[in-house]
Amino acid sequence: MKGGLHLSIGQVAMQISSFVRNIILARLISPADFGIAAIFGLSLTMIEVLSNVATEMLLIQAPDGDDPRLQGTAQLIRAARGAGNSLIIFVLAGPLAKLFGVPQATWAFRCLALVPLSRWLFHLDMSRLQRHMRFAPSAISDAGANVFATLITVPLAFWLRDYSAMLWAMVIQVAGSTIASHLLAERRYRWVWDREHWKRMVSFGWPLMINGILLLGIFEGDRLVIGSSQRLFPRSGFSLTDLGVYSATFSLTMAPTLFIANISASLFLPLLSTVQGIAAQFQRRYVACLEAVCLAAAVISILFITAGGKLVTLIYGSRYAAASLVIGWLAAMWALRIVRVAPTLAAMALGDTKNTMISNFARSLALIGMAVAAASGAGLVWVAISGFGGEALALIASVWRLHSTNAISPRLCVKPVTVVALGMGLSAFATRVLDGGLAVTALTWLGCTVIVVATMLALFQGLREDISTLLFKSRGGEQSGNLDAQEELRGIV
């Protein structure tokens, strides 16, 4: 509970900061400039994922993750990776700018090399402490840097009034996070070269590195297609303005997904890992994780499907009204992504890092549909529909891999996923039939949410028991009758 609270506060601060930054930029710069700013993040991610062997994940998962030599080797690898990525971005600045049709921004792409250069000295004590459910240092480091960068964005955006405001905000955020990690660390920062540890990291991380490349297609592939379509597909009608509108909508719907996914990964991975050899307990915790993420997926998707179009216009302005055509499909796509968190974490807790790689390979097939949509001159909505279809394939692949490799029954997912689908279908139907003003939209969202939450509580006995136990515990536990509830709570945690 304490770790979850620290995680929640940190994630809320990060997501709100990122959200506010996007609002400031969307309001003060044009959609086309916002599209160029989105290209910075896309280009940086393209380079970063090609060298990510997830050394920080090994520090959490490995039984000897507290070993100073293991941590020192991980920090040396991270530093080498950061320096190499900086050089690659600087060299490729010109070709990247030409690929996206913005040769005038070549100087900005070169300056983008400062981001991985600022990240290379990050102290991995932030990851090691998570082994012991101590999330406060990591939360403070990330959230503090995000908040500071957001505060800086306001004068930057008023001063510069173009895409370069996003560039300097990114550099400031990453540099701040690195500095904070050293201030909050318990160990002295050092580099160690240990050949055996290096082999372990490569063995553990290569599936995750390939997974990162696949994630590039998932998180950035649609925007890559939109941003480069005019150079690659003569019949495409996509422009930088379309990229700006799509990126704003994408970021808005992705924010709660990252919030849920990051908290779930940090909170549930240690809990699942500690019982990986006890089948009954592992399955119970897996079901609890599954039901929790499905509840979150249903509630979040209903909000964006019923009120997403009005939210985008309210937040970003009337220039982004076209987002109403795609936000429902993007919300449904991210809902499936939230559901996929549960089987992915279960597989990783059991040492199967290939699960996420295989499922993301299935997800990346959506790029075919996106490319076809761009080449044929179809609208933005077909890019979002392709993403939804790919996410459905990825969920099926993840659940099936977990069953075939670790004998976790796919039937455990049937009821939770069915209720999520019910929520998305019901909200889409109600929005189409009851389309109206803000009052009608609010009532539609509330009605659909109440129906779906009530259905989940009725069907999921474990979810009811966990919620009632936590509420019972929160009343103090003074009476002797509370002893059984306290024992049950300890069993859950």
Calpha distance 325→17 (Å, rounded): 26
| Number of independent structural domains in the chain | 1
Query: Has residue 4 got a pLDDT over 80?
Result: no
Residue 26 near residue 34 (C-beta atoms within 8 A): yes
Distances (CA, A) of 435 to 319, 328, 439: 21, 14, 10
Is residue 472 a part of any domain in this protein? no
The alpha carbon torsion through 336, 128, 201, 144 (nearest 10 deg) reads: 60
Calpha distance 144→487 (Å, rounded): 37
Lowest mean pLDDT among 25-39, 105-119, 243-257: 25-39
pLDDT at 254: 84
Is residue 189 a part of any domain in this protein? yes
Is residue 356 a part of any domain in this protein? no
Is residue 179 a part of any domain in this protein? yes
Is residue 140 a part of any domain in this protein? yes
Is residue 142 a part of any domain in this protein? yes
Is residue 115 a part of any domain in this protein? yes
Residue 101 near residue 230 (C-beta atoms within 8 A): yes
The mean pLDDT value of the chain amounts to 78
Lowest mean pLDDT among 224-228, 264-268, 322-326, 478-482: 478-482
Measured from the Cβ of residue 325, the count of other Cβ atoms closer than 10 Å reads: 15
Q: Which residue has the tokens 């474990």?
A: 462
Range of the domain at 56: 1-193
Is residue 25 a part of any domain in this protein? yes
DSSP string, 117-138: HHHTT--THHHHGGGGT--HHH
pLDDT at 90: 87
Residue 307 near residue 468 (C-beta atoms within 8 A): no
pLDDT at 336: 92
For 455-489, how does the pLDDT look when each residue is reduced to its tens digit (9 = 90+)? 877 777 666 666 555 555 544 443 433 333 333 33
Residue 75: half-sphere exposure toward Cβ, Cα within 13 Å: 24
Residue 112 near residue 236 (C-beta atoms within 8 A): no
For 138-191, how does the pLDDT look when each residue is reduced to its tens digit (9 = 90+)? 778 888 888 888 888 888 878 887 778 888 888 888 888 888 888 888 888 888
pTM for this predicted structure:
0.65
- Name the packing angle between helices 31-49 and 195-215 (round to 10°): 150
Calpha distance 456→434 (Å, rounded): 24
Query: Has residue 319 got a pLDDT over 60?
Result: yes
DSSP string, 90-106: HHTHHHHHHHTT-GGGH
Structure tokens at 139: 């939360």
pLDDT at 483: 33
Report percent pLDDT > 90 for the chain. 5
* Helices vs. strands in the chain: H and E counts, helices first: 22, 0
